[in-house]
Structure 1
Amino acid sequence: MTGRGGFLGWHTRAALRETGTDTTAIAVGEQFEAETAVGALNGATRLIHIAGVNRATPDQVSAGNIQFAEQVSEALRRAPEPPPVVVYANSTQTGNGTPYGEAKARAGEILALASQEVGAQFLDLRLPNLFGEHGRPFYNAVTATFCHILSTGGEPRVDQDKELTLLHAQNAADLLTGATTPEEQGNLEVTKSVSGLLGRLRELASVYDRGEMPDLADEFDRDLFNTYRSYTIETRTPITLTRHADPRGSFFEVVRSHGGTGQSAFSTTVPGISRGDHFHRRKVERFTVLAGQAVISLRKLFTDEVLNFTVAGDAPVAVDMPTMWAHRITNTGTADLFTSFWTNDLFDPSKPDTISEVV
């Protein structure tokens, strides 16, 4: 895979983690090493070319995208056992007359020719505006910028209102990996105006800022909500819950959902034992300790830093599990831990969206 360290590359690696598929990075540009690239491609099942240049001078954009394709094609031709499938993360802007569009088109031609020469199937995926968790504000896409501004209490503005074709990065990753066929791409895309996108994000943020769950019945809303949540992890976790107590005992709300499906579960955990050590690609999940003491730990995939939150039943808080972060809860007390779990979807054993990953 080229571009493995970028936004789409990270999402693609996370998607492949579900099937336990390993990926090898191929550096391009000045870091390109032909022998290393040949070794990576030899015996691989699929080549995914994501790396590209879109923020530079027109000459740099043109030269960079073409150079990357030429380097990958060189390695492909030299591999003794080249991958049988080559996938190109192209753009819907390809061939639109701009330096970027023309360079993407030319890169596609270079890759297609090399694929043909080695007998590989070539898939030219023309991806629209991508959005998703951990996009870079003011760089990757307008969705990332809006989410960042809203999550920090700012007020985004629309400079140019136009229609956008949007595709969640996890759906794009499934297209690149072959989990979803190219024929299904149109069904995964959503068209929104820039102002409409901002309006929906404002609604989702407004509900979540109260600690509540918005209506997640629509898959696009769910993906947009997970995208917004990725900008609030360190600043708004955990969510404080209001505890009401009197001589009879205590009461607090665990979750208030505004629509869609939902499933609640309850567990007891003996001292010193952990639950979890997995991640979700799309599922929204909330942990709430009802009684006892615990530490909830989170780690973003492919990173080493772990966020630890100390929680207790007598000071109730909700900790929402960010998508594509490994997480677990550990009983750190001396008595049994009582925990409530809520998810936005009904558990389906055939599609559990619960992938083993040690925090």
Structure 2
Amino acid sequence: MKRIGITGQNGFVGTHLFNKVSLLKEEYLLIPFSRSYFDSETALADWVKECDVIVHLAAVNRDPDPQVLYDTNLALIQKLLKALNMAGNSPHVIFSSSTQEERDNLYGRSKKTGRGLLEEWAGNNQASFTGMVIPNVFGPFGKPFYNSVIATFCHQLCNGLSPKIDQDGFLKLIYVDELAEEIINVIRNVNNDAAYEVRSTSESYVSEILLRLMQFKRLYLEQGIFPELPDKFSINLFNTFRSYIDHRTYFPFKLKQHADNRGVFVEMIKLEVGGQVSFSTTHSGITRGNHFHTRKIERFLVIKGKAVIQLRRYNTKEVLNFELDGNEPSYVDMPVWYTHNIKNIGEEELYTIFWINEFFDPEDPDTYFETVQNGF
């Protein structure tokens, strides 16, 4: 069992990689990292000594002073190199560089220089080293105005702000979960390429991305319609957009009831995309679910009875609670990486409609069991 350490494990890419590795408990043991280790030579060396693989993600991406950014990123690498020498072991070091290496900016230079220093250390110590040159990364939970323009656009659109494009560039992109899988493949199949170019999985102009995101806002956020998602990039972009919605204020979304002398008519789910619709009945006091998905898009809609739906983002503590009543039909959508359940809190049978954007595949279920309340 390889022991994996990730510097910057609480950052954007680090969080996704940490979570992905944590699902592979039979292959890997995670050695938790604290940013405070960079303030203590002994603590950092002790941590290094425990690792068979170190993924160095810790870095500053933006700073008002580019020189501070450059100096900080080089200082982190120099501290890691000193700890490696103090520890006396030679783990496989994986470094996240950037395609900005070739640009005339201090961030790119900090990445290129740092990659060279780590390559030199590996050569002097007969160690494995992989320098991953990575394109633009996007995905759920990125920090707006910091991690990517997509994170910024999603944040603005979900908070009533108007995004603006300063310069319409052409972006080569990789989804953060795809990058995490790429890094895990490098861990699994040791790659000694000091300049390993990670291929982008999609390409688009900034203006085209913004148009798609604005469509998501118009259809999904304002009308509750699932937009057409013709390819993997569209699904990844939509799941990224959904992660910026404040569930506490947007859900449960109550549906309009059309009543006349015949009864009531309710439009449940409007789709520009396919998938599967199911329903369940649940006895009083019974809980269903307690699992999460990393790519699937899902809606729970209560049409009879009383329920509480609970959500908790994987490897975090906060639990979101939503009460739904079939007398006022309403739904809650499940974000990716949020474990969720539904419990019948009424005395009568609970009727729930479920929609998910893909059929269940036992060979690739994308379903990970984790209790909402006691999983952390």
TM-score normalised by L of structure 2? 0.87
The amino acid that maps onto 2:82 is E
CA 1:45–1:254 in structure 2 vs 1: closer, same or farther (change >3 Å)?
Answer: farther
348-357 or 233-242: bigger deviation: 233-242
Which residue, out of 123, 128, 133, partners 2:135? 128
218-227 or 231-240: bigger deviation: 231-240
Q: Which stretches in structure 2 are left out of the alignment for 5+ residues? A: 1-5
Q: Give the Cα separation in 2 of the matches to 1:191 and 1:221.
A: 12
Measure how far apart 1:321 and its partner are: 0.4
Identity %, equivalent residues: 38
Q: Give the Cα separation in 2 of the matches to 1:213 and 1:267.
A: 22
Q: Is 2:19 the partner of 1:11?
A: no
59-68 or 36-45: bigger deviation: 36-45
Q: Is 2:204 the partner of 1:192?
A: yes
Q: Is 2:87 the partner of 1:75?
A: no
Name the SS for the 1:140 alignment partner.
Answer: coil
Checking the alignment, whether the CA contact within 8 Å between 2:54 and 2:94 is kept in structure 1 is yes
Measure how far apart 1:138 and its partner are: 1.7
The amino acid that maps onto 2:72 is G
Q: Is 2:336 the partner of 1:323?
A: yes
Q: Is 2:267 the partner of 1:253?
A: yes
Q: Is 2:70 the partner of 1:62?
A: yes
Checking the alignment, whether the CA contact within 8 Å between 2:133 and 2:198 is kept in structure 1 is no
Q: Is 2:213 the partner of 1:201?
A: yes
Name the SS for the 2:114 alignment partner.
Answer: helix
Q: Is 2:237 the partner of 1:237?
A: no
Measure how far apart 1:349 and its partner are: 1.4
1:2-40 Cα distance to aligned partner (Å, 9 max, x none)? 111111112222222332455334345884333333333
The amino acid that maps onto 1:323 is V
Q: Give the Cα separation in 1 of the matches to 2:52 and 2:280.
A: 41
Match of 2:277 in 1: 264
Measure how far apart 1:184 and its partner are: 9.8
Match of 1:295 in 2: 308
CA 1:160–1:304 in structure 2 vs 1: closer, same or farther (change >3 Å)?
Answer: same
Q: Which stretches in structure 1 are left out of the alignment for 5+ residues? A: none
Checking the alignment, whether the CA contact within 8 Å between 1:204 and 1:214 is kept in structure 2 is yes
Q: Give the Cα separation in 1 of the matches to 2:296 and 2:123.
A: 39
Name the SS for the 1:38 alignment partner.
Answer: helix
Q: Is 2:180 the partner of 1:173?
A: yes
Match of 2:105 in 1: 98
Q: How many residues align?
A: 356
TM-score normalised by L of structure 1? 0.91
CA 1:351–1:11 in structure 2 vs 1: closer, same or farther (change >3 Å)?
Answer: same
Measure how far apart 1:153 and its partner are: 2.3
1:233-257 Cα distance to aligned partner (Å, 9 max, x none)? 3332222222234454433232211
Match of 1:283 in 2: 296
Measure how far apart 1:146 and its partner are: 0.9
Checking the alignment, whether the CA contact within 8 Å between 1:86 and 1:121 is kept in structure 2 is yes
Q: Give the Cα separation in 2 of the matches to 1:221 and 1:265.
A: 24
